[in-house]
Amino acid sequence: MKRKLIALGIILLASILRFIYLDLRPMHHDESVHAWITLHIENYVYDPAYHGPFLYYSTHLIFKLFGISEFSARTLPVIFGILLIALIFFMKMKWRTKILISLYLSISPVFLYYSRFLRNDIIMAFWTLLIYILATEYLEREKRILIPALFSVVSLSLCTKENALITLFIFISFLLLRYPGEVLRWIRENGKLIPISLIPALLIYFLFFSSFLSHPERALTALPDSLSHWFEMHRIQRLGGPFYFYFPILLLYESPVLILSILGCIHFYREGDRKMLFFIYWFLTSFLIYSYLGEKVPWLSIHILLPAIFIAFEFLTRVPMRKPLLLVLILLLSYTVYSSVLVNYVHPANPKEPLVYVQTSVDVPEVVKELKGHRIAILSDDYWPFPWYLRDESVSYWSKTVPQRLDADYIIAKEEIEIEGYEKVRDFRLREWWIPQPRFEELPSYLISREGMGDPGALWLHLYKRLET
């Protein structure tokens, strides 16, 4: 009973941290696109550029239940962020380790931030951990009912995001490298069970990718199209970065886990711990694969960090710590909590936070307040998240050709213009980004208040108002 209360207390803490001030940060470009697609779910057709259909149909259900708002748009990742922590208590490990991991996941800057962000990655982290739990449970108990359940969760992960294929590659390659004979024997002995167990998984896959039977042909082309698209994104490095892209992010926000996981990898490898060898393989292959891929964005750090957390806290609870190292870890953990508060509640739209990636400026909600109830024309090919914010307003969009006459109360333009009958009200930033300019003398100021180390860049737009006659 006492343990259940502790678990519920941690889950309650995680819930509070994820739900409070959920609509504080302006809607990110990607969030607004995802929310907009959800608003028009009746027209949904799978497009690999916007990842899997699970996010949209699930968010649509939340909109139906709780209404349409920034808060409800971010509720789905919050729910899965909480469920991820709840899963820890179903894992087979020491009770103390479960408490430490679940508490850390509750306050982790990376996991907390992306549990409050309308993207697929926190959902993917949940499916990944559930796949691990079901797989290990089956290997220990050999309950056949777990196979269709496992295949169904794999299918749901594929319906969520294409990097489910990376997870499957990591998990399956470990089994083939470590236990090739056992894997082949299992396939031979379960030749009839496997196709039967695939039926619910294939049904889930077909329903989601066919837009629930509206586009049955899309279910057949979804996988090859997604592979083609993301291989091309990797080739052109649309969102490229250096091989070490994720290391500074983990060092800044998750340094206790980074240090402990490296020490843990060395220790458990030397010990030959069978269970931890899998986590080491998972962590290192994730780090190498995501560091190699041409598409590098901070939310993908979740998939590197998840196995690292298990290595870190297994090491912490199994191996006695010397006092100097323990003191360093406590200090670093204090900074992790401080950083989590900064990035999630104090300035969640600050472009100088590496987790904040090409974020919508705080100027945008201010402009939106002024535009409410008016007719608006937007003369720019960069306009997200305005379709989301102005979803109930009369808005016309013009990217290339500007009409000679506009029937609008306000005009938003990318270039400064002169239109008879309008005056400029203000310039504002649509979104901001930051390319660090390391200066050693500014490092303390940056670590404390995110000041220095170069100025953010911004995409500026111009707001014009019709002159009163």
Cis peptide before 385 (omega within 30 of 0): yes
Instruction: Give the contacts of 50 (CB within 8 A, at least 6 positions apart).
Output: 33, 34, 37
Measured CA to CA, the distance from residue 220 to residue 195 in angstroms comes to 18
226: pLDDT confidence band, cut at 50, 70 and 90? very high
Three-state DSSP at 390 gives coil
Secondary element (H or E) of residue 428:
strand 422-433
- Whether the Cβ atoms of residue 344 and residue 113 lie closer than 8 Å to each other: yes
Instruction: Enumerate the domain spans of the chain.
Output: 2-346, 361-466
pLDDT per position as a tens digit, 147-182:
999 999 999 999 999 999 999 999 999 999 999 999
pLDDT per position as a tens digit, 239-256:
889 999 999 999 999 999
The pLDDT value recorded for residue 373 is 92
**Could you give phi then psi for residue 28, rounded to 5 degrees?**
-65, 155
Average pLDDT taken over every residue of the chain = 94
Measured CA to CA, the distance from residue 98 to residue 118 in angstroms comes to 27
The pLDDT value recorded for residue 469 is 62
Which tokens go with 420? 């008879």
What CA–CA distances, in Å, run from 409 to 247, 382, 406, 466? 48, 20, 9, 5
The pLDDT value recorded for residue 365 is 96
What CA–CA distances, in Å, run from 430 to 29, 358, 361, 382, 449? 10, 10, 6, 8, 23
pLDDT per position as a tens digit, 67-117:
999 999 999 999 999 999 999 999 999 999 999 999 999 999 999 999 999
The pLDDT value recorded for residue 142 is 79
pLDDT per position as a tens digit, 394-419:
999 987 666 777 789 999 999 888 88
Average of per-residue pLDDT across 425-430: 96
Is residue 220 over pLDDT 90? Answer: yes
Measured CA to CA, the distance from residue 169 to residue 275 in angstroms comes to 18
Measured CA to CA, the distance from residue 357 to residue 31 in angstroms comes to 12
146: pLDDT confidence band, cut at 50, 70 and 90? very high
Is residue 306 over pLDDT 90? Answer: yes
Kindly report whether the global pTM for this prediction surpasses the value 0.75.
yes
Measured CA to CA, the distance from residue 384 to residue 368 in angstroms comes to 12
CA dihedral sign of residues 233, 234, 236, 237: positive
Average of per-residue pLDDT across 5-16: 97
Of the ranges 123-132, 271-280, 319-328, 459-468, which one carries the lowest mean pLDDT score? 319-328
